[in-house]
Structure 1
């Protein structure tokens, strides 16, 4: 595994980090707890020491699964990344969505990052994770109802108290990152980035490179779309959010799979999977420090971890990007 420094901090994360959204089940059609625990432990055995989770993932389930999975590994051997600012049990802030929890009950999710809420969320996360500190604490989404200053000064307090080591943000634009950085050292921005979602290359990536901030890319496999395993006519389980995304329309599945076939020979040459090739390309892109890779079982998590063994030459990276630039999806 490769380990990379995050921003200007002393925090080092595994270049492939375990993304525990799907492990929490919420919006993924449920979860099998034992499989999720095995997935995290199997990835750790492959050198994946960093795990990204959030309270909203399964409304606490994901964080509890992470705690169970890392028990006995040694707290200093793993890096826990979690978030705040998505409340399903407090109707305050911006309404983000109406959803259902893992039991099928209706819930309303709010983006809220007021001081008292962050303090409570941190306490609850520490309890669920069975730890006394969080390595990287991130605001999950911007909250238009709370000043960034209030949110970030609260995280700075948590750092002084030793409950948090470093501060990060998620889904922030460059203006929001500049503002947040005034009140606490922001070392990273976790944003969506994949072969078919490259908008951040225009502004967020240049800002990160110029200001020594790391980008943690989430959904680099675009929720399974870039694995080459999803064919037209694919049926999602009830509650799986992907069923409503335009990427997964049959015509787009055909286009994406055609692109993947055009680069498959590079994976075959290395006896690697398309998923591994995609992950390696992702962490080779300028400004992309970490790729989050989710898995719901040990086979998937081990395959993701082994993506680090795929080596690409500059001309091969350029070839992949050139083929990618020809891809046009239908909205």
Structure 2
């Protein structure tokens, strides 16, 4: 595993960071508690030191599982990354940006993007309790909230850093104008954004800005939620309540399969899996600090962690990039 400094902060994260969205279960066809905890333990045993979660993942379940998994571990050796700003319990009293309707336990309820000072403080205290810790290494706004001034949100994050409750502040899914507005108030450690072989939009403006400002980029969905592993072109099937039944529809299955067929021999020559090659390619792209990789069991977690050791030559990188451009 290699470890990378996150922007201008003093955080050093593992290049492959554990992404804990799926273990929340909601939107992913459920989860198995012991498998989820085993996935976190396996990640830690194989060099992953950074764990990224959020209150919304399983409506608190993901954070609770992370908290249980790290109980008794050396907290100073771990980096806990979580978020705020998605409210599903009605505590926002209708304030904020309506986002979508979520379902859990047979119930449907509205989710709002809401990042007021009071809500940030409330959510942080809840996260600290679930995670069983007294500080968060990186606290991030989950999605932009147009109803709360950006400076109010950023001033709150500055306050939490001054209080020692968080070590660094980041954002997720911010566009260029939002980043510039935020940085009038705070020096951001990172922007967590979607990035993959199939989605390289951030290369146009977000990456150059981040490089110029010494801001980290945390790439999520590098495997497009499993599509780039190739397993869904083979025997793997999705549960009926898995959001990926709709998510995968945005891509041309024929084009994605053709890409994977082209690059799979490179992985095979390295005794690596397609997912390991994809993760490593992503982590080596300019401006990318760390890559989030989800795992629902120990086997997947170990495979993800070992992706950091995969080598890609300049010629192989060119071949992969050309194959992507030909899609």
Structure 2 matches for 1:304-315, cutoff 5 A?
304-315=304-315
Aligned match for 2:95, one of 66, 89, 92: 92
Distance in 2 separating the partners of 1:178 and 1:242:
33
How many Å separate the matches in 2 of 1:257 and 1:70? 38
Number of equivalenced pairs: 324
Q: Deviations over 1:46-83 (max 9, x none)?
A: 00010000000000000000001111111111100000
2:223 to 221, 237, 240: 221
* Counterpart for residue 165 of structure 1: 167
SS for the counterpart of 2:189 is strand
Give secondary structure in 2 for the equivalent of 1:220: coil
Matched, 1:272 2:272: yes
Q: Distance in 2 between matches of 1:94 and 1:230?
A: 34
1:5 maps to 5
User: In structure 2, do the counterparts of structure 1 residues 28 and 277 end up closer, same or farther at CA, with 3 Å as the change threshold?
Assistant: same
Within 1, Cα distance between the matches of 2:248 and 2:280?
25
Partner in structure 1 of residue 201 of structure 2: 199
Partner of 1:281: 281
Q: 1:108, 1:28 → 2: CA distance?
A: 18
Q: CA deviation at 1:247?
A: 3.9
Query: Counterparts of 1:9 and 1:154 in 2: how far apart (Å)?
Result: 17
Separation in 2 of the partners of 1:140 and 1:235? Answer: 29
Q: Structure 1's 248 and 236: CA in aligned 2 closer, same or farther, altered over 3 A?
A: farther
Match of 1:29 in 2: 29
Who is 1:120 aligned against?
122
What does 1:1-331 align with in structure 2 at a 5 Å threshold? 1-90=1-90, 91-101=94-104, 103-231=105-233, 235-247=237-249, 252-327=252-327
Does the 8 A contact of 1:138 with 1:167 survive in 2? yes
- Residue 189 of structure 1 aligns to a residue whose secondary structure is strand
Give distance in 1, aligned partners of 2:236 and 2:50.
Answer: 32
Tell me the TM-score normalized by structure 2.
Answer: 0.97
How much has 1:45 moved relative to structure 2?
A: 0.3
User: CA offset at residue 246 of structure 1?
Assistant: 4.6
Structure 1, unpaired ranges of 5+: none
Structure 1 Cα separation of the partners of residues 191 and 47 of structure 2: 23
Unaligned runs of 5+ in 2: none
2: distance between equivalents of 1:233 and 1:227? 12
Preserved CA contact (<8 Å) 2:227 2:248: no
CA separation of 1:153 and 1:180: change in aligned 2, threshold 3 A: same
SS of residue in 1 equivalent to 2:98: strand
Deviation of the 1:245 alpha carbon = 2.2
Cα drift, residue 238 of structure 1: 2.5
3-state SS in 1 of match to 2:255: helix
Distance apart, 1:35 and its partner CA: 0.7
Offset at residue 315 of structure 1 (A): 1.8
Show structure 1 runs of 4+ deviating over 3 A.
Answer: 232-235, 246-249
Please say which of residues 90-99 and 300-309 is displaced more in the overlay: 90-99
1:254 shift after superposition: 2.9
**Could you tell me the TM-score, scaled by structure 1's length?**
0.95
Measure how far apart 1:34 and its partner are: 1.0
Q: CA separation in 2, counterparts of 1:97 and 1:65?
A: 25
